[in-house]
Structure 1
Amino acid sequence: MAAGPGIPPRVAGSPFRAARSARNYPHLIARVLELDLVDVTYSGATTLNLLDEPQNGTPPQIDTLDGTESLVTITIGGNDVGYVPALMAAALPRAVRRLPLVGPRIRSALDPVARDQALSLVGDALSTVGNEVRRRAPLARVVFVDYLTLLPPADTPAPPLTAEEADLGRHIADELAEITASVAAETGCEIARASRASRDHHAWSTEPWAEGAGSAVAALLNRGPAPFHPNAAGMRAVADLVVELLRPDQ
């Protein structure tokens, strides 16, 4: 969500699988605030990839901190709870669900019990992230940036998702947003609530800040945003939100 998969151009020299856009919200914030940016966003990252585990050979993101930072922004947790994977599974053709190898994975992604179990664990993981970033970057303002609203309001169609699938997505998004805000407060971090700012700009709206089911192939070729991820307008909106938080009088 922070990397900006499919929004051209890619960051020169960045790992291909990171799908890191030079127009993602960290880059836009850095330009406005005239900051030197170290962008370690990486598509598909979990809190483990941020804290402990290399991702496709790339060191944990937190290792880039050296204590000189003035600002650290963090968007994480969605992959821990299977948020976008659930939406992408729901958007697949129904026939795919009957395939021997793929079907069980899709059903697992859309299992409400499994998603609630993941949500029950993500708070502790996010707390560790907040505390550890503050420890390693003691001079920085640390801002959690939650996820743009992807789905329309309840009882509003979101094809090709069924009503039940859309409700599951809303539940995951709402719970994750509240957990993130709570963790930010508990760990002495700040919160930029992109989820609230984007309620009228969901992927099915007339002015979307995120892509709907979209085309994974187009995103892979860097010719359009990844499905259920921010578009260029969404990245600009998130950057503006963070800048406003940091400079409320401007």
Structure 2
Amino acid sequence: MPGTRTYSVMVALGSSFAAGPGIDPVVDDKAMRSGRNYAHLVAKDLGAALTDATVSGATTATILEKKQRVSTKRFAPQIDAVRTSTDLVTITVGGNDLGYLGALLGCAAANRVAHRWYGRPAGWLFRKALSKKDITDGLVSDTTDSVVRIIDEVRRRAPHARVVMVDYVPIVDDTTVPSDTVPLTAEEIAFARNVSATLSDIYLAAGAKTGAEIVSASSFESGHGIGTAQPWVHGFRPNGLLAGSFHPTAEGMRAAADLVLELLRRSDGTGNGSS
């Protein structure tokens, strides 16, 4: 296509929804980083060299300024991967700042325990504590400001880079209801929808402030949430695969990658855009 921009040096920044826990092949077990996450798929299709700095559990702080410790390994701030030669940067972060996955995993575990008579008191108390989690306007504002700082720092280090924010593949959709395969209450499912919408709003606000482009994975059509026939997110996996619970499947990563590629091929990145 005439005028289509090409990319040769790509950097991926983000937390588990970018890293891809639970998807083979694993390229870094401490980071729980997959060789088939959306960044790897995009880089392969573009023919670009990729530095994948994503780490499961990352926050805006560990991308921007703090080292992240996972077991015996320490990861430098992810922003250090961005160089002057970088011409494409993808960013997925913010969920851990809001406590998104931790709350859902805790609720699912508590609900499973509460099904057994001896676990009901503990399960009830845990769910009650988690239900008090409040995503305040202040927390949302702080997270938005942190995402803006990440984008600004990327541009300071790589002035010619195209910056694309990829928001979160939805864990639940309009069809998701409590069931044996969805160990969440209706209230907890509503919480997941609310946090997903809040993260989308954070990305829109950060994009408006910086001009960074947005790929709205959160806008996937219904029918791919947990408990559906074709889920793009793993369900609750307590038997040795807990880290992958409520995270994108290989199909979900492919769908996110396709949205990124669609955006890149549709425009050259000279103006605001979303997909």
The answer to whether residue 45 in structure 2 is matched with residue 32 in structure 1 is yes
Say whether the 8 Å CA contact 2:113–2:120 is kept in structure 1: yes
The answer to whether residue 189 in structure 2 is matched with residue 176 in structure 1 is no
Q: Which residue is equivalent to 1:223?
A: none
Q: Which residue is equivalent to 1:217?
A: 240
Q: Which residue is equivalent to 1:188?
A: 211
Show structure 1 runs of 5+ residues with no match: 221-225
Q: Which residue is equivalent to 1:80?
A: 97
Q: How much has 1:155 moved relative to structure 2?
A: 7.8
Show structure 2 runs of 5+ residues with no match: 1-16, 268-275
In structure 1, what is the Cα distance between the partners aligned to 2:232 and 2:21?
A: 14
Say whether the 8 Å CA contact 1:108–1:114 is kept in structure 2: no
With over 3 angstroms needed to count, the CA separation of the structure-2 counterparts of 1:43 and 1:97, relative to structure 1, is farther
Structure index of larger Rg: 2
Q: How much has 1:112 moved relative to structure 2?
A: 3.9
Q: 2:108 aligns with which of 91, 97, 104?
A: 91
Q: Which residue is equivalent to 2:170?
A: 149
Query: Greater strand share, 1 or 2?
Result: 2
The answer to whether residue 65 in structure 2 is matched with residue 48 in structure 1 is no
Query: Greater helix share, 1 or 2?
Result: 1
In structure 1, what is the Cα distance between the partners aligned to 2:136 and 2:236?
A: 20
Say whether the 8 Å CA contact 2:177–2:189 is kept in structure 1: no
The answer to whether residue 258 in structure 2 is matched with residue 235 in structure 1 is no
Q: 2:187 aligns with which of 143, 157, 164?
A: 164
Say whether the 8 Å CA contact 1:149–1:198 is kept in structure 2: no
With over 3 angstroms needed to count, the CA separation of the structure-2 counterparts of 1:21 and 1:76, relative to structure 1, is same
With over 3 angstroms needed to count, the CA separation of the structure-2 counterparts of 1:98 and 1:23, relative to structure 1, is same
Q: 2:227 aligns with which of 204, 219, 222?
A: 204
Does the residue aligned with 1:38 lie in a helix, a strand or coil?
Answer: strand
With over 3 angstroms needed to count, the CA separation of the structure-2 counterparts of 1:120 and 1:136, relative to structure 1, is same
Say whether the 8 Å CA contact 2:175–2:223 is kept in structure 1: no
- Please give the TM-score of this superposition, normalised by the length of structure 2: 0.79
Q: Choose 115-124 or 189-198, whichever is displaced more.
A: 115-124
Q: Which residue is equivalent to 2:24?
A: 8
Paired AA for residue 152 in structure 1: D
Does the residue aligned with 2:26 lie in a helix, a strand or coil?
Answer: coil
Say whether the 8 Å CA contact 2:41–2:254 is kept in structure 1: yes
In structure 1, what is the Cα distance between the partners aligned to 2:194 and 2:231?
A: 20
- Please give the TM-score of this superposition, normalised by the length of structure 1: 0.87
With over 3 angstroms needed to count, the CA separation of the structure-2 counterparts of 1:192 and 1:151, relative to structure 1, is same
Q: How much has 1:125 moved relative to structure 2?
A: 1.3
Does the residue aligned with 1:18 lie in a helix, a strand or coil?
Answer: coil
Residue-by-residue CA offset, 1:30-88 (whole Å, 9 max, x unaligned)? 00000000001100100001001101111000011111111000000000001111111
- Residue-pair matches, total: 239
Say whether the 8 Å CA contact 1:201–1:209 is kept in structure 2: yes
Q: How much has 1:136 moved relative to structure 2?
A: 1.5
In structure 2, what is the Cα distance between the partners aligned to 1:190 and 1:176?
A: 15
Residue-by-residue CA offset, 1:122-172 (whole Å, 9 max, x unaligned)? 111111112111221211110000000111227844631111111111111
Paired AA for residue 260 in structure 2: V
Q: How much has 1:121 moved relative to structure 2?
A: 2.4
- Tell me: higher relative CO, structure 1 or 2? Use CA pairs within 8 A at least 6 residues apart: 1
Q: How much has 1:218 moved relative to structure 2?
A: 2.6
**Alignment root-mean-square deviation, CA:** 2.4
With over 3 angstroms needed to count, the CA separation of the structure-2 counterparts of 1:117 and 1:109, relative to structure 1, is farther
Q: How much has 1:209 moved relative to structure 2?
A: 0.8
